Amino acid sequence: MSADDPKTLVSTEWLAAHLKDPDLRILDGSWYLPTVQRDPKAEYDAAHIPGARFFDIDDVSDNRSELPHMAPPPEKFMSRMRAMGIGDGHQVVVYDGAGLNSAARVWWLFRLMGQHNVAVLDGGFPKWQAEGRPIEDLPPIVRDRHMTVRVQNQLVRDVTQVSSASKLGDHEIIDARSAGRFAGTDPEPRAGLRSGHIPGSRNLPFQTLLTEKGTMKDVPELRAAFEAAGIDLAKPAITTCGSGVTAAILALAMERLGKTDWSVYDGSWSEWGAFPTLPVATGEN
C-alpha cells in the first residue's frame, strides 16, 4: 500500500496537490475532551484549510441516546452531509487540530455509511500549518449534492455483541485508552464510570501507533505495535476506547494493514463502565 491512499490516509503533500480538485471536500473533524478546554468550532472559525467545512461530531450523532456522540441514524447523516454540500462522487479528506485523533472517528462514520472515498489527513492541521500551507477564515461555498447511504453494520458493535465476544474469546477486543485507564489505576475523565477494562481485551494506546510528529507510523511499525500488544491479527477485531473516538484510530491502522474484519464498539467505556452488571477486569494485558 502506498503512503497516500485516498481511502485511508493522505499526506499534506497529497492534499496540497489536490486542493483545487472540483470533487474534493475537506472536513475539520476536530473534537476534544472537556478537560482539554479547547473549542474546536471557534478554532475552525479562526483558521482552517481552504474550503474546509466543520464536522461537529456531537451534532452528527444519535441525539436519542444518552451516550456521547453515538453514530447517527442514516437519514440524519444524509441530511447533515447534504447541508454541508457533501455527496456521491466526492473525495473526502478529514483532518483535526490534534494531528491524528478525532478525524479517524469521522472517517469511520463515513465508512459505516457506505462511503469509501474518504481519507484522514496524516498529521492534521498542526502539520499543515507547520509547513506554511494556506489557511483561511472564510465560510465555504456549499452546493447541495445527494448522498446514497448503505449502512455497513459489520463495522459497528453494540454492548450485547461485545459482551458475547468477551465471553467467547472469538474476537480480539482492543482498547485504545491509556495503560493507566486500562489497568484501572487512573481515573476516568467522565464522572460515574468504573475503572478497568472489558475482560479479555488487550491494551493498545492509540499514541503507540503515532510518531512523535503526530503522523501514523508506517505499515511494518503498525504491525509490530499490534503484535507487541499480544494481538492476534488473524482473529476478527473489535476496537474500543472512552467514547468511540480514538477506537477509530485503531480501526484506521488495521485498514492500513489490509485487515478488514474489524468493527468499533460505539458505546465503548462510556457504556460498559456505567453498567454495574457488566464485568470489569483490572491490571495490565
Catalogue the active-site residues: 241
Count Cα atoms within 13 angstroms, Cβ side, for 106: 30
| SS3 annotation, 32-44 | CCHHHCCCHHHHH
Residue 267: DSSP 8-state: S
d(CA 233, CA 244): 20
Chain position carrying cell 475552525: 44
Dist. CA 198–CA 202, nearest whole Å: 9
Q: Which three cell numbers stand for residue 47?
A: 483558521
CA distance 178 to 204: 8
Q: Alpha carbon 134 to chain centroid distance?
A: 25
Side chain identity at residue 173, one-letter code: I
Of the candidates 56, 57, 55, 53, the one whose C-alpha atom is nearest the C-alpha of residue 24 is 53
